[in-house]
Amino acid sequence: MTTCAKVDTCPFFSGHMVHMPAVANLLKENYCLEDSSPCARLQLITAGKRVPDDLFPNDTVRAKELLHW
């Protein structure tokens, strides 16, 4: 289990979540700081796919659909 290397530069948090810091912190705790492997955004990055700006870290269903395109 490792912290995501992109946690400080992830455009999702600097864009969509800038006005919701409590939600952003909760998502970071669950998907970025301890075990980043379940992060939908990271799954796409790892597969070399484009990551939509509005993809939430917990949107694994959408990530799986994008992985099969």
Does residue 47 fall inside a structural domain?
Answer: yes
Count of structural domains within the chain? 1
Q: Structural domain of residue 16, as residue ranges?
A: 11-67
- In this structure, is residue 17 part of a structural domain? yes
Determine the Cα–Cα distance for residues 15 and 24; give it in Å rounded to an integer: 11
- pLDDT for position 67: 93
Angle (CA) 60-64-69 rounded to 5° is: 145
Q: Report whether pLDDT(48) > 80.
A: yes
* Residue 4 in domain: no
Q: What's the pLDDT tens digit per position in 16-47?
A: 788 899 999 999 999 999 889 899 999 999 99
**What pLDDT does residue 1 have?**
62
Confirm whether 63 is domain-assigned.
Answer: yes
For the entire predicted model, the pTM comes to: 0.86
Q: 14: pLDDT confidence band, cut at 50, 70 and 90?
A: confident
Instruction: Report the length, in residues, of the chain.
Output: 69
Q: How much of the chain exceeds pLDDT 70, in percent?
A: 99
